[in-house]
Chain A
Amino acid sequence: MSAIAMLLVGLGALALGYRFYSKFLAERIFRLDPEFATPAHTLRDGVDYVPTNRFVLWGHHFTSVAGAAPIVGPAIAVIWGWGPAFAWVILGTIFFAGVHDFGALWASVRSKGKSIGMLSGSYIGRRGRNLFLVVIFLLLLMVNAAFAVVISNLLVSTPTSVIPVWGAIAVALVIGQLIYRYHVGLLWPSVGGVIALYALILIGSMYPIVLPDAVFGLGAKSVWILLLFLYAGIASLLPVWVLLQPRDYINGLQLFIGLGIIYAAVLIASPDVVAPAFNTGLPANTPSIVPLLFVTIACGAISGFHGMVASGTTSKQLDKETDGRFVGYFGSVGEGMLSLAAIICCTAGFASLVEWQAVYSAFGSGNVTAFVNGGQALLTSGLGLPANLGATVLATMAILFAATTMDTGVRLQRFVIQEAGELSGFKVNTMVGTLAALASCLALAFGAGADGSGGMLIWPLFGTTNQLLAALTLAIISVILIRLGRNAIYTIVPLCFLLLMSLYALVVQLGSFYASGNWLLLGMDVVILVAALWVTLEAVMAMRKGREGASQGGRAEAEEG
């Protein structure tokens, strides 16, 4: 089968989803009102609440939610064949992620821009808020550990990316200075920054940097993981304008360029998909497709993290309520497009089925590396890039996404630790908070498996937690809809499906962690399982209460939010 066919069917389905399903949701379910005064206007403060042009806002929303996860998940999941991964990404984006992101944005806009965490407090109660904090902490912990491992694997497998990845820090530092100190307009630093980044990629592709096999008795991957956390720790302590802000910005631009490059390469190269639609010759020890597919691909099909972004920052900047359809729903379509690109790279970028099977020889063996190698073949045949240049471009792209998430992740984790410390009566200073965050991530990255291989083992657990967060958000949206007396079936069906799959996946993984004697991950699994049961219970109770509230005229109250 031609990859172009897959691309067109996928994009076509997403376009139909946006054209019809999001319109249906906007008009019938959420009933967006162009006259509604959004929080960006009513609470305008020039800081959090600022009415923003919808294209700029979409750009923000999309670049905040898209990272390495929509690449890693599909790259692992195509082991079951391209069919299931493709179907879950496309249908998930249309019927799960779109509703979830759009709904979270709508719910927040109708509640004075409150975040999902706050909303879970007001719709589920104080327990809801605590539950939310627990899930968030687990999510941050796992994302930092998993991404550190993803990056270190890529730095070892694609040594040409070492120079551009670390050089990008210098580019960001220069841009930050130019803009903050010299108030230069944004256009030229942006153009210059992108050119500098690609020049570094070119230089890197000529000078690969390989670490010696053992440094102080540590393998190359372990050294990279330590260096990454050292960097993330320092980056999270610096004032944001120095590094994080320009880095985020350049990555945002790079996301659009990267997506463009991949799609152009696929269209020109017109490769054939060599991977089977359904892999019948699964390697030994591959977990069952149900439920693992649905937690391996979280971002790209549905991810709770999006709800946090939609309700945390995006909702405070929405100019008109009707913009929510474009910003929220199309934001998740953008992420689906990134995942679709990842699926194509991982299934069509190989010369033959045998070669593909060699890469996907065990569950988790073909992850982002497969994306880089497969994508490289596409860039080479489509755009005529030299082989290692294509790989460098893709590896750098994936690493930069993951690294920005880590920078922010460590910073957020520090806030959570400081807040938890304050609640229990300790004053945790910035340094101690950062060290505690780093220590917990390192413990997880190394504790779950030697040489940091634990990071990949926790990927499905990370996905499960992400789905739990999505379920919590969907539960809140459903409660609001029920209270308003509207049809909540479009959020309740995805909610039930997600909870079912998450619980099922946790039980399955519990068995496999027990069998392999991985006690750390077993413990994590149990904690997440408890959280999952808790979410389920709260969701059911809140909805039952919501139904009573709706019949007792709670409608007006909910309308006022």
Chain B
Amino acid sequence: MSADQPEDGALKRFSEALREFYVAPYRRAFAQARRDEEDLFMLLVFAESLSIPNPSSYYTLEMMPVLYERFHDWHRRMGMERSPLDHVSCC
């Protein structure tokens, strides 16, 4: 933080410092909530592959490639050491 900015900048910086003060302690809680939500979404997209009937499969199919990259972390988080799907060979 440099002190040679105009008044307006000082107020803005103060407001930003306050935001940091507000946000920082809860970053982890938010990241976890977001991950939980994404995990659920992952389950929806891969439902048919995991033999859970899912009427929206037709629509979520095109999401699969996007989510492939995160699949490895997901199945490990869900307590499966190895990939449960034959056609996804991440590990």
Contacts and interface: CB of A to CB of B under 8 A. Distances in A.
Interface of A: 46-48, 50, 52-53, 55-56, 59-60, 64, 179, 185-187, 190, 239-241, 244-246, 248-249, 252, 313, 317
B17 A50 contact: no
A351 B20 CA distance: 44
A179 B27 contact: no
User: Which has the most chain A C-beta neighbours within 10 Å: B25, B27, B31?
Assistant: B25
Contact of B19 (A186, A239, A241): A186
A125 B17 CA distance: 40
B21 A245 contact: no
A56 B20 contact: yes
Contacts of A56: 17, 20-21, 24
B22 A245 contact: yes
A190 B29 contact: no
Interface in B1-29: 1, 11, 14-22, 24-29
B17 A55 contact: yes
Contacts of A187: 11, 14-15, 18
Contacts of B21: 56, 59-60, 186, 249, 252
Interface residues of B, number: 20
B22 A249 contact: yes
Nearest to A239: B33
B49 to A, nearest CB: 25
Nearest to B33: A239
Given A47-B31, A245-B25, 6 more contacts: A47-B28, A48-B28, A187-B18, A241-B30, A248-B25, A249-B22
Nearest to B13: A53
A334 to B, nearest CB: 15
Contact of B22 (A47, A48, A186): A186
16 contacts: A46-B27, A48-B27, A53-B20, A56-B21, A56-B24, A60-B21, A60-B24, A60-B25, A185-B15, A186-B18, A186-B22, A239-B33, A240-B29, A241-B30, A244-B26, A317-B24
Interface of B is mostly: helix
Interface string B22-65: 10111111110100000000000000000000000000000000
A50 B14 CA distance: 19
Contacts of A52: 20, 24
Given A53-B1, A239-B33, A185 B27 contact: no
Contacts of A317: 24
A46 B26 CA distance: 12
A50 B16 CA distance: 15
Contacts of B18: 186-187, 190
A190 B11 CA distance: 13
Nearest to B18: A186
Contacts of A50: 24, 27
A186 B17 CA distance: 9
**5 A-B pairs with least C-beta separation:** A186-B18, A187-B15, A47-B31, A186-B19, A240-B29
A179 B22 contact: yes
Contacts of A313: 25
A179 B26 CA distance: 14
Contact of B26 (A186, A240, A252): A240
A509 B19 CA distance: 46
A245 B27 CA distance: 10
B19 A185 contact: yes
Interface in B66-85: none
Contacts of A249: 21-22
B10 to A, nearest CB: 11
Contacts of B25: 60, 64, 245, 248, 313
Nearest to A55: B17
A245 B28 contact: no
A52 B24 CA distance: 9
Given A239-B33, A240-B29, A241-B30, A186 B15 contact: yes
Nearest to B35: A47
User: Which has the most chain A C-beta neighbours within 10 Å: B16, B18, B19, B27?
Assistant: B18
Contacts of A245: 22, 25-26
B15 A47 contact: no
A53 B24 contact: no
User: Which has the most chain B C-beta neighbours within 10 Å: A60, A186, A317?
Assistant: A186
B77 to A, nearest CB: 14
Nearest to B14: A187
B65 to A, nearest CB: 25
A244 B15 CA distance: 20
Nearest to A245: B26
A210 B79 CA distance: 53
A59 B33 CA distance: 25
Contacts of B24: 50, 52, 56, 60, 317
Contacts of A53: 1, 17, 20
Contacts of A244: 26
Contacts of B26: 240-241, 244-245
B11 to A, nearest CB: 7
A275 to B, nearest CB: 37
